[in-house]
Structure 1
Amino acid sequence: MEKKKVTIPQVCHGHSRPVVDLFYSPITPDGFFLISASKDSHPMLRNGETGDWIGTFEGHKGAVWSSCLDNNALRAASASADFSAKLWDALTGDVLHSFEHKHIVRACAFSEDTKSLLTGGFEKILRVFDMNRLDAPPTEVDKSPGSIRTLTWLHSDQTILSSCTDIGGVRLWDVRSGKIVQTLETKSPVTSAEVSQDGRYITTADGSTVKFWDANHFGLVKSYDMPCNIESASLEPKSGEKFVAGGEDMWVRVFDFYTGEEIGK
């Protein structure tokens, strides 16, 4: 009888409180990277292929709800309960700028050309900061129907995806008109939403479910039940054949994209 192959899990230690956001960088000349945000207030940078720890960003004084990397993985951004979003040098870990807000910041996202940083949170306002003029006032898009939980750009720098902490669904905003043009419906509030590096899929997490949507026609492609409530999910950029998900059990788990089977943690 043929022996069943045993998969050895990849274990990503480090956070002392629940992981609430995960983000893969695009593939760079040095490989690709994974940044994780946690309620322990310390975003962590890891090798995207092995999960090995590279560094920890020190400076926030509250839970970090969101973190991301620019296209070259040279800069990182984070959104925190300390009423700020921070821009970091991803090579040194130094804070390059702190964008002050009037309430908790729950989400941040670099634009495709990395010239802008989008933020949102309890103020229900989508703000766009100019990365070439860090001290300039941000552009405000419009008022969200609820407190903003997630933000990301879709295909170009003219469309924004957002979700709310207390309302289900993901909303598509047209930056030019400042209006919602479409909603992807979910039963539970969406805690994570991202666009895959190849632009094919939108990955969302709501409750204990991870979903994949067609990023061009917005139909539901796949839906997987997870072992616990999930705060964040991200599709691996190199092959697109696996995704990571992290939540209230403080593990970062690896799953097969095609079957939903857990292949590591």
Structure 2
Amino acid sequence: MAAQQGVPTSSLRALEEALGMGSAAGGDASDMAEGTYYLEQVTITEPSEDDYEYEEIPDDNFSIPEGEEDLAKAIQMVQEQDTDTQILEQKTVLPSKHVVPEVIEDFLCNFLIKMGMTRTLDCFQSEWYELIQKGVTKLKEVGAVPDVYTQNMVLENENKNLKKDLKQWKQAADKAREDLLKTQKERDFHRMHHKRVIQEKNKLINDLKGMKLHYASYEPTIRVLLEKHHTLLRQKMLTSMERDRAIEQLSECQISSRLVEPVPSFQATKTRAIPGYEKEFVPEGPTQRGLREAREQYKSKIRMKDNRKDSEFPTDMQPNPDLCLPTGNDSPAKFNYQLSTIFRLHDLPVSCIVMHPSKDILISCSEDRLWKAVTLPKGNVLLTGTGHNDWLSNCCFHPSGNMLATSSGDTTVKLWNMTSGNCTLTFEGHKHAVWSCTWHSCGDFVASSSLDTTSKIWDVNSERCRCTLYGHIDSVNSIEFFPCSNTLLTASADKSLSIWDARTGKCEQSLYGHMHSVNDATFTPKGHMIASCDSCGVTKLWDFRKLLPIVSIDVGPSPGNEVNFDSSGRVLAQASGSGVIHLLDLQSGQIYKLVGHENEAHTVVFSHDGESLFSGGCDGTVRVWS
């Protein structure tokens, strides 16, 4: 069925729905489905005032006063209420906004798009523009959309925006609430921590005051003890002077008695009667005999020391034999060492291993106060040295190999005869443990380094300390003579290396670069380079001719306990606190690792031919790598 001629029914119906007009009675869902529309004429009549019904509004608060005066007051009150009502009406009735009214066409299109009625929108646009082209519809007569609809749409948009803002503000408020709770918790924690710190501070202040008072009470006692100490020192000096004077008088008496001729036996009875000769012929008791023997031993020692002269440092040193070796060795350096043998020699950690200069004999020192000489490769114990009262820290062979020097925690350095294994000489003078010792190439001097921040040079012939080296401000952990020279190298816990002249005892140069305590330092066999390792595992190579660092290798964080070169000077071995032996190829810079120690490795040394490597650990074993 087609629509009536004239204005299309679908467009008019859409207009009626959009403007809120009444719909036709026959416009139900079935007719819309068939596409047929009907129009019904409706007449709207305005109601007259007679037909209008008024509501009665009860006024409980209003009362009519009695009398004329009361009537005048009532009229005045009614007028005032009327005036207030007009004012309220003027305030409540808001003027309409002067907004440009929206065209009905745009309004309908926006409405259909908003409701998602796309098919109705297409139908409306096709019929609307068709009517406009035919000239049937006059746009001026259609008018504009009432202001209330546009205001509703604006309010809806504002409502949506406000809801969106409200949601965002709620999220921001929730986040701010969480931050506030977190900040409050942190504030409470820091407040408690601050109170705890204040309490500890007050406690420490009170303890400090108590300690000050406690130590203040010691000052008078210390002063008295110092005075007594000085008095005893003076008495000691006076006593020693009187003793020396008595010894001189006794020696003079003995000399004078030797000059007196012996008395004949037949005159003995007469001489005994003389008072001056009574003491000469009294028989000598055991006490007098012991005193006489002690005096004679004391004099003999003085004569022996007077006869022994101090050794002289050689001025014309022999050239270093390692410098005469060819620079290019035929055999390549060895790095593929494998663990072959384990010697269980000590009950406590091994602190040092050295090789005999010319024989296949190995010396191991331990913290069990013993040193042992072991034959290679079987590991039979030849000699065992006992005599130190505390742990052994280091040992060194005499250049001839006939004597051994050992340093110990008992503050002494001992010299041993390698033939009998007996101690021949003990040097005493350090105030704390001795960490290291080394022989001069001439064999007349031994140098030692100690925890007391000093190093000493001992004369083997005169049996005394020739020089004390002062300069380090912390423990001196290592000491070594430069090959065939009078130069000493020391490594200290003050993070520095020092070069000394043994003849004068002066520090010639200090090398700085380590960031931690330097545990060991050594020269290459040719003496042109120095290697050092510190307590953080950093190994440094130094140019001894220029006294400048060459390279730094970090194999930490385990400490490096000892470094040693092989006989060719091309391989450097480091004993690490992690139990790993690191081998550094000085030509290529490559690092190799030997893993075999279960715990910390303290010392490492190469054999003379470089085919074997020996290492000592804290488990009391010496491990052979070949």
User: Which TM-score applies when normalising by structure 1?
Assistant: 0.73
Q: Structure 1 pair 137/230, CA: closer, same or farther in 2 (3 Å)?
A: same
Aligned length: 246
Answer yes or no: is 1:9 the counterpart of 2:378.
no
> Is contact 1:83-1:104 (8 Å) kept?
yes
Unaligned regions of 5+ residues in structure 1, if any? Answer: 1-5, 259-265
> Is contact 2:394-2:406 (8 Å) kept?
yes
User: What residue in structure 2 maps to residue 171 of structure 1?
Assistant: 540
Shift of 1:114: 2.2
Answer yes or no: is 1:229 the counterpart of 2:597.
no
- Aligned ranges 1:105-116 → 2 under 5 Å: 105-116=476-487
Q: Structure 1 pair 164/143, CA: closer, same or farther in 2 (3 Å)?
A: same
User: What residue in structure 1 maps to residue 393 of structure 2?
Assistant: 20
**Which of 73, 76, 81 is the equivalent residue of 2:451?**
81
Answer yes or no: is 1:123 the counterpart of 2:494.
yes
> Is contact 2:396-2:438 (8 Å) kept?
yes
> Is contact 2:396-2:439 (8 Å) kept?
yes
The CA distance in 1 between the partners of 2:592 and 2:414, in whole Å, is 31
Q: Structure 1 pair 229/240, CA: closer, same or farther in 2 (3 Å)?
A: same
- Aligned ranges 1:122-161 → 2 under 5 Å: 122-134=493-505, 136-161=506-531
Q: Structure 1 pair 246/47, CA: closer, same or farther in 2 (3 Å)?
A: farther
Matched AA of 1:83: T
**Which of 1 and 2 has higher RCO (CA within 8 Å, sep 6+)?**
1
Q: Structure 1 pair 18/125, CA: closer, same or farther in 2 (3 Å)?
A: same
- Aligned ranges 1:54-65 → 2 under 5 Å: 54-65=424-435
The CA distance in 1 between the partners of 2:423 and 2:522, in whole Å, is 25
The CA distance in 2 between the partners of 1:50 and 1:193, in whole Å, is 31
The CA distance in 1 between the partners of 2:598 and 2:416, in whole Å, is 24
Shift of 1:65: 1.7
> Is contact 2:580-2:593 (8 Å) kept?
no
Matched AA of 2:381: P
Shift of 1:168: 0.4
Higher mean C-alpha deviation, range 8-17 or range 116-125? 8-17
The CA distance in 2 between the partners of 1:215 and 1:32, in whole Å, is 33
User: What residue in structure 1 maps to residue 8 of structure 2?
Assistant: none
Shift of 1:98: 0.7
- Name the structure where strand makes up a greater proportion of residues: 1
Answer yes or no: is 1:95 the counterpart of 2:465.
yes
The CA distance in 2 between the partners of 1:79 and 1:179, in whole Å, is 24
Shift of 1:206: 1.5
- Aligned ranges 1:146-225 → 2 under 5 Å: 146-165=516-535, 167-187=536-556, 188-197=558-567, 199=569, 201-207=571-577, 208-214=579-585, 219-220=590-591, 223=594, 225=596
Higher mean C-alpha deviation, range 155-164 or range 39-48? 39-48
> Is contact 1:172-1:180 (8 Å) kept?
yes
User: What residue in structure 2 maps to residue 3 of structure 1?
Assistant: none
Q: Structure 1 pair 205/31, CA: closer, same or farther in 2 (3 Å)?
A: same
Report sequence identity in percent.
Answer: 23
The structure with more radius of gyration: 2
The CA distance in 2 between the partners of 1:142 and 1:244, in whole Å, is 30
User: What residue in structure 2 maps to residue 256 of structure 1?
Assistant: 624
Matched AA of 1:150: D
3-state SS of 2:428 partner: coil
Shift of 1:108: 1.4
Q: What is the CA deviation profile of residues 167-204 of structure 1, one whole-angstrom value per residue up to 9, with x for unaligned ones?
A: 10321012455443223443421111223455454343
Higher mean C-alpha deviation, range 47-56 or range 144-153? 47-56
3-state SS of 2:559 partner: strand
User: What residue in structure 1 maps to residue 409 of structure 2?
Assistant: 39
Please provide the CA RMSD for this pair.
3.6
The CA distance in 1 between the partners of 2:451 and 2:526, in whole Å, is 28
Matched AA of 2:594: S
Q: What is the CA deviation profile of residues 74-128 of structure 1, one whole-angstrom value per residue up to 9, with x for unaligned ones?
A: 3221111111011122456432211013322112121123221111212222211
Shift of 1:148: 1.5
Q: Structure 1 pair 171/106, CA: closer, same or farther in 2 (3 Å)?
A: same
The CA distance in 1 between the partners of 2:438 and 2:601, in whole Å, is 18
Unaligned regions of 5+ residues in structure 2, if any? Answer: 1-377
- Aligned ranges 1:236-247 → 2 under 5 Å: 237=608
The CA distance in 2 between the partners of 1:83 and 1:94, in whole Å, is 19
The CA distance in 2 between the partners of 1:54 and 1:99, in whole Å, is 25
Matched AA of 1:183: S
Matched AA of 2:500: F
Matched AA of 2:539: V
